[in-house]
Structure 1
Amino acid sequence: MSEDEYNLDYIIEKSFEEAIEYFNKNGIKVEGLKLIILESPELLIQKYGKDRINENIGGRYDSGTIYIIKSHIKNFADKVSKSMNESSIGNLFTISRNEVLWPVYKNDNDIEKAIAKADAESILIHEIGHRIVGNGEWKASVFEFLVYFYKNELYKYPEVYKIMERNTKRCEKFIQEKNQAFYLPYSLGFCFANDIIYAHENILNKNKESPKLNIKDTIEKFKHFSEEDGTKITKMVNKLLKDYVNIKSTLNIKANMLSCILEKLPNIMDNVNS
């Protein structure tokens, strides 16, 4: 599907409006933001220079203005929709952003449009995040994943936690990364958000109809972290959660084995007594 078959400008503008509405609804103050949609990053490169603007950039925040690059979203949606080995779990499928799995709700069969919307929304949230939590890609990335998850009420889908468990294993790779790849702060931010959401909503929350985590309070806490502190706490939380997931998996295997034995118990006893 080409961009002509879905209105990307509308998707971006609508996602921006919905994000602002979500922040206001949750007591997160965002005022005076301006959205500018650009066809390509050329104007940003001319304004800021090639040393500050990557040609693959999706968005940028500067002095109250959110710049969104249409070509990035279009290319991402086109590439992912054509190359993805669709990993569907129930009503969700996944896309990889900085090598972390993002759950996307499949509300119709228009996969490319769903990918474009998810990408546009996440970029917008990330750039708005710089307005709220300040500079630093780890903080903005935590903000991005958290807001995307709760805004779309993904905590209501039991299958989402299978995706998040897969992320805990992926995140171990970034935590052990020796080379400071450009995407590392983004990936670690996504990982931290993934892990604290899983802990709050899958372990602590017995009622999936409403979220356990208070997003406003959580944002207030982590926005004061330094990037270095963020990396340290990401490592600590991921290790604990990975251990929990492994133990849970082992217990599930044992439970299944026990269930099989109990089902076959009459036959086993007959063989013993014969």
Structure 2
Amino acid sequence: MAGRLEGKIAVITGAGSGMGKAMAELFSAEGANLVLADISGKQEEVAAKINAGANVRAVPVHCDVSNEADVQNMIATAEKEFGRLDILCNNAGFGGPMAALHEQTSEIWDKVHGTNIKGAWLGMKYGIISMLKTGGGSIVNTTSASGVVGWKHHSVYGAAKAGVNQLTKTAALDYSDKNIRINAIAPGTMWTGLVGASQQFAEPPADFPTLAGIPMGRWGLAKDIANAALFFASDESAYVTGTILPVDGGYSIGFSGMGAERPGMTTVNKDGS
């Protein structure tokens, strides 16, 4: 039985860990050939594992998504190695420190916005240029619940992710008649290796303070985001564009305004990308 992405070519940023790694593993299992981009070097390990066990190919590339030349090279790699680009997942993200607005710095603003919103814009720009050559494709942006509702001490990050939401909607309108669908996933409180390391937990704690504000009462997992990305990447969502899909256990619809401050979470992106 053919996979849902059989023969498709996908580029995934932030593919070395967390949600990007989960997307890479799921997409390869569903038949996609991949370009795996990351700044960490861990994309090499993810690609090697996929190449060792699947009937697809994964090509790792180093990419700082805020660097235009790196993004251009990432898309050019897909074209060179596979001939085209069908799917682009702009997943790389950086949360920065959680702090009140007046305590943030211009340097943090530039890094958070460079990675999150400029990175998404550059990926979309060059991904769209490639897709226009071959008749269309699907773009999936990773945003955040912080871009949908207010989250205490997330002014800089929330503004960046809200910008990604708006980029998603307006670009979806710009290219809806070009067979390019553009959607976004808004993760809530996610459990990834980065989060676990920052909190010195080996497993997701069931009594973490933030969970009190989540109607479903559990952490989100990387596979929850990967499954949503698979839907948007596949032909199953052929009539869906411009959608911001919360994958947050009901947090954004049940938002109480309490702010959900997370003690100790000072350097790790809340959504784990």
TM-score, scaled relative to structure 1:
0.33
TM-score by length of 2: 0.33
Greater per-residue strand proportion: 2
More contact order relative to length (CA 8 Å, sep ≥ 6): 2
Whose helix fraction is larger, Structure 1's or Structure 2's? 1
